[in-house]
Amino acid sequence: NVEYTCPSCRKKGKLTAPFKRKNIEGILTLRVQCQFCGANIDITKKMKEKKGKKSAPGIEDDE
C-alpha cells in the first residue's frame, strides 16, 4: 500500500502497487501514478541526484 500527496495537484491518495523498483535515470525507483491527475510520482530509497553526462575536463564555455 502506498499513501501519497501528489506534488502536481496536491491531492492525497492511496493505492496498492507491486513493490518492484525500476532503474529510472540511474536511480532505483518505485514509480506510481496519481489517481487524480495521472502524474508520475517517483519514490526512491535514498534521495539521490540524477546522473548526468560529464563534460570533458578542461573545456569551459567562454562568454
Q: What is the pLDDT of residues 8-63, one digit of tens each?
A: 999 999 988 888 888 888 888 888 899 999 899 888 877 666 666 655 555 555 54
58 belongs to a structural domain = no
Q: How confident is the model at residue 50, as a pLDDT?
A: 64
Cell of 3: 499513501
Q: Note down the domain range covering 9.
A: 2-44
Give the total number of structural domains in the chain. Answer: 1
Rounded distance, CA 56 to CA 18, Å? 41
Q: How confident is the model at residue 54, as a pLDDT?
A: 57
Model confidence, pTM: 0.59
15 belongs to a structural domain = yes
